[in-house]
């Protein structure tokens, strides 16, 4: 009898199969079928999203599970052009968990809520016997108010340019290094941050945004492949335009990882109208100088992502598969 594997939570092929072949079939409806980062409801006025966080270790360079839980849900709302407003929060706490650590995590959540000008308005707490949960799991659900309508990963076309907001892979690399006890003499830390302030600047500047998505589980490769399939287009990406930091690149070369498949928690991908690409890039670079235009949309190989090398060769950038790094968020 088939069983769930860790790979089913990787944000890649197995995860997509589980979602589409089981959950989408059971819960089929017009809103869910759009496969967006968050659901647009109430006639396009509100956006609704939920996420659960099981990251290990709970504390890492650049953040902790509390900060991550607020950023994760607020960022999903922001990717649909919505300002985060109201969140619910559920804690699943293992018996014996340190109260001071819990207080630190909750304070991190409060700090991140303030950055989003959002609030937790309801919640739930469960304490389970030791061994039933690995220390602490958190679920957050959020509602946001739409500031810009029409953003959708189902609407990408050959009129769009593909941009990434900063260097990729920092969260996945940081979590792996912390989990394996790797001592790194570098400034590597998670990119975990709230993205709405950047999105607000793009919206206020009237950038013609077609789609946005934060590149969490499955990384950049998963986002681009999902977009290519959803919009029935080919996305062509120039490899040496993809920003990757030296620390992340070094870790990938050492361990055989693909940086494009590593998770991010404060990096997003944009499809914007070609006429606004440079303006959008300038705004993004005012927040992070590593933002880069990485590709364009074509009809060469429908529903595929093509990675073009500096040597003039090309290959398909496939959806990640297998058990790369579980429990990164």
Strand 160-164 and strand 119-128: the pairing is unpaired
pLDDT along the chain (329 residues), means of 10: 85 89 94 94 96 96 97 98 98 98 98 98 98 96 98 98 98 92 80 98 98 96 97 98 96 90 97 98 98 97 96 94 83
- Tell me the chain's radius of gyration from C-alpha atoms: 19
Q: What is the mean pLDDT of the chain?
A: 95
Element counts in the chain: helices (H) and strands (E): 9, 14
What local confidence, expressed as pLDDT, does residue 185 receive? 67
- pLDDT tens digits, one per residue of 29-40: 999 999 998 999
What local confidence, expressed as pLDDT, does residue 2 receive? 83
Phi, psi of 264 (to 5 degrees): -130, 155
Looking from the CA of 143 toward its CB, the CA atoms found within 13 Å total 11
Domains and CATH numbers, the chain: 35-146 (3.30.1330.10), 160-316 (3.90.650.10)
Beta partners for residue 83, in sequence order: 145
CA distances to 1, 55, 84, 162, 233 from 299, rounded to whole Å, are: 41, 38, 35, 15, 6
Q: Of 43, 47, 63, nearest to 55 (Cα)? A: 63
């Amino acid at each position: 009898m088939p069983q769930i594997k860790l790979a089913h939570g990787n944000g890649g092929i197995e995860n997509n199969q589980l979602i589409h072949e089981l959950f989408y079939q059971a819960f089929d409806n017009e809103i869910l079928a759009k496969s967006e980062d968050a659901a647009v409801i109430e006639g396009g006025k509100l956006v609704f999203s939920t996420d659960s966080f099981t990251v290990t270790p709970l504390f890492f360079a650049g953040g902790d599970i509390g900060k991550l839980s607020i950023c994760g849900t607020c960022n999903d709302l922001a990717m649909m052009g919505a300002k985060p407003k109201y969140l619910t929060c559920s804690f699943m706490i293992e018996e014996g968990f340190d109260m001071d650590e819990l207080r630190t995590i909750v304070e991190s959540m409060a700090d991140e809520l303030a950055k989003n000008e959002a609030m937790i308005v309801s919640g739930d707490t469960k304490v389970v016997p030791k061994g039933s949960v690995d220390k602490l799991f958190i679920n957050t659900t959020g509602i946001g108010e739409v500031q810009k309508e029409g953003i959708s990963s189902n609407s990408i076309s050959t009129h769009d340019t593909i941009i990434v907001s900063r260097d990729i892979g920092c969260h996945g690399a940081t979590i792996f290094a912390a989990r394996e006890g790797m001592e790194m003499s570098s400034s590597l830390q998670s990119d975990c941050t709230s993205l709405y302030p950047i999105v607000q600047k793009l919206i206020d500047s009237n950038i013609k945004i077609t789609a946005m998505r934060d590149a969490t589980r499955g990384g950049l490769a998963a986002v681009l492949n999902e977009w290519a399939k959803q919009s029935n287009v080919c996305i062509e990406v120039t490899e040496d335009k993809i920003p990757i930091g030296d620390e992340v690149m070094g870790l990938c070369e050492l361990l055989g990882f693909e940086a494009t498949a590593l998770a991010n928690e404060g990096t997003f991908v944009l499809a914007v109208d070609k006429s606004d690409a440079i303006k959008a890039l300038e705004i993004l670079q005012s927040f992070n100088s590593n933002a880069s235009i990485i590709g364009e949309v074509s009809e060469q190989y429908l529903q595929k992502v093509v990675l073009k090398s500096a040597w003039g060769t090309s290959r398909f950038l496939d959806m990640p598969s297998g058990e790369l790094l579980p429990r990164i968020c």
